Amino acid sequence: MSFTMLPKISRRSFIGAGVAAAAAAGTLSWVYRARNSWDEAVGLVADPHGIIDLPPDFSYQVLQRVGDAMSDGFNAPSAPDGMACFPGEEDTWIIMRNHEIHKGTPVDSGFGAAPDRGGGVSRLVIDRASAALRASNMVLTGTSRNCSGGPTPYGWLSCEEVEEAGHGYVFLCDPGASSVQAPHRLPALGRFPHEAAAFDPASGITYLSEDASQSAIYRHVPDSPEQPFVGGHLQALKVQGQNRFDLSEGQKIGDQFAVEWANITDPTAADTRTRTQAQQRGGAIFSRGEGAWFDGSSVYLCSTDGGPKGRGQLYRLDIAKAAQTDTLTLIAQAQGDGDFDHPDNVTVSPWGDIFLAEDGDAPNGVRVLKPDGRLLYFARNVMNDGDSEITGICFSPDGKWMFLNIQWEDLTLAITGPFMTLLA
């Protein structure tokens, strides 16, 4: 099985962008210290349309709602979830968008991964300058609970968050596809309730999170970096010298752990769940591993229910050079009611700030973790009292646009404003 690089995002440029962001943040601490949150310090502006409150001088527009007619004749599906933005042709950005739908009917039975599942991936093509929607279509259909995923130079990795027979896989989706495609399943990346994928283009390794109460953190190491999603080994993270170390309880911000990796011998879980195999080999335990994002030489990982309040943690996995040891650091966790609330999706902006989307008690919002340790409140969902989680946060590569979904209300938004100056 061969893989083709996307035409306008080479492996070298994918690596370079991450290295530049890492260099910009390299002299900063990246450890959270309690400070006033954004709304306490400045104040969010109430949205007269009752959708989302933002800081002064920021604005948003609705890109698409559930039921909107798409360019391929299908209607926009519900439950939008994980997203990523890719360069497109003719001054466009392409947003790949998951849909966390379980049972249903594929939009096209001829291309459905399963006949009784309604999840999948849609594609939005927008103008780079104005974010006006130029086109939209389905790319993947007939999958189950496509939750998050991750961008790669080869396309969008879309993850199924289930482990029923025949499901729980990662699918590779082409951002250039203007119509629904045959499913491209990647069994080498394991079968379990996948949440997110973070791809390292230098090594071809994919780091994977699992949404379960006692989950593992995985990586897939390919036989060749140029063929990243086939063969190789699925492995689980283990704290060096510790068996089944619980990373979700009893840890302090700044704690660091040397890690090693244990092989999963049955990655498709034909006989035993992958997280059970991980624990049998001493793998570390996460309380609901959700968001994952690759940046520079690090992977950011959310433990949604971890920490002393059960309101979430953020870890950073620093990837070492060959023959050296990877290191895991707890860089933030909720220690009081004023901190973040169950961080789910995570992304690193092109200038180095970490953005976290909440899936907790109303009102859910978006928090920003600055390199100097400040935790700011950037956005607040106000639809139906803010009960719905915010999903899919990601940026256009030029940093002008942030994209996100208000999932239960089935809205996809584009937000713009003075990100770097107002959040300085």
Each residue of 123-174: pLDDT tens digit?
Answer: 999 999 999 999 999 999 999 999 999 999 999 999 999 999 999 999 999 9
Q: Give domain status of residue 104, yes or no.
A: yes
User: Side chain identity at 282, as an amino acid letter?
Assistant: G
Q: pLDDT band at residue 13, thresholds of 50, 70 and 90? A: low
For residue 1, pLDDT beyond 70: no
For residue 34, pLDDT beyond 60: no
CA atoms within 13 A of residue 293's CA, in its CB half-sphere: 27
Q: pLDDT band at residue 43, thresholds of 50, 70 and 90? A: confident
156-189 residues labelled b (16+ CB within 10 A) or e (exposed) = bbbbbbbbeeebbbbbbbbbbbeebbebbbbebb
Q: Give domain status of residue 173, yes or no.
A: yes
Say what the pLDDT of residue 371 is. Answer: 87
Q: What is the mean pLDDT of residues 248-271?
A: 97
Q: Give domain status of residue 124, yes or no.
A: yes
Q: What is the mean pLDDT of residues 63-89?
A: 98
Bond into 363 cis (ω within 30)? yes
Q: What is the mean pLDDT of residues 177-182?
A: 98
Average pLDDT value for the chain: 91
With the CA atoms of 268, 274, 280 and 285 taken in that order, what torsion angle do they form, in degrees rounded to the nearest 10? Answer: 160
Q: Give domain status of residue 130, yes or no.
A: yes
Q: Give domain status of residue 206, yes or no.
A: no
Say what the pLDDT of residue 200 is. Answer: 98
Q: Containing domain of residue 107, as a range?
A: 66-185
Q: What is the mean pLDDT of residues 329-349?
A: 93
What are phi and psi for residue 218, nearest 5 degrees? -120, 165
Number of domains in the chain: 1
Q: Give domain status of residue 346, yes or no.
A: no
What is d(CA 303, CA 56) in angstroms, rounded to the nearest whole number? 31
Q: Give domain status of residue 413, yes or no.
A: no
Q: Which residue, chain included where needed, has tokens 């190491």? A: 221
Q: What is the mean pLDDT of residues 213-224?
A: 96
Which bin fits 14, alpha (ψ -120 to 50), beta or left (φ > 0)? alpha
Q: pLDDT band at residue 413, thresholds of 50, 70 and 90? A: very high
Q: pLDDT band at residue 420, thresholds of 50, 70 and 90? A: confident
Q: Give domain status of residue 12, yes or no.
A: no
Q: What is the mean pLDDT of residues 171-195?
A: 98
For residue 359, pLDDT beyond 50: yes
Q: pLDDT band at residue 337, thresholds of 50, 70 and 90? A: confident
What is d(CA 87, CA 8) in angstroms, rounded to the nearest whole number? 6
146 in Cβ contact with 118 (< 8 Å): no
For residue 9, pLDDT beyond 70: no
Report field, pTM of the whole predicted structure over 0.85: yes
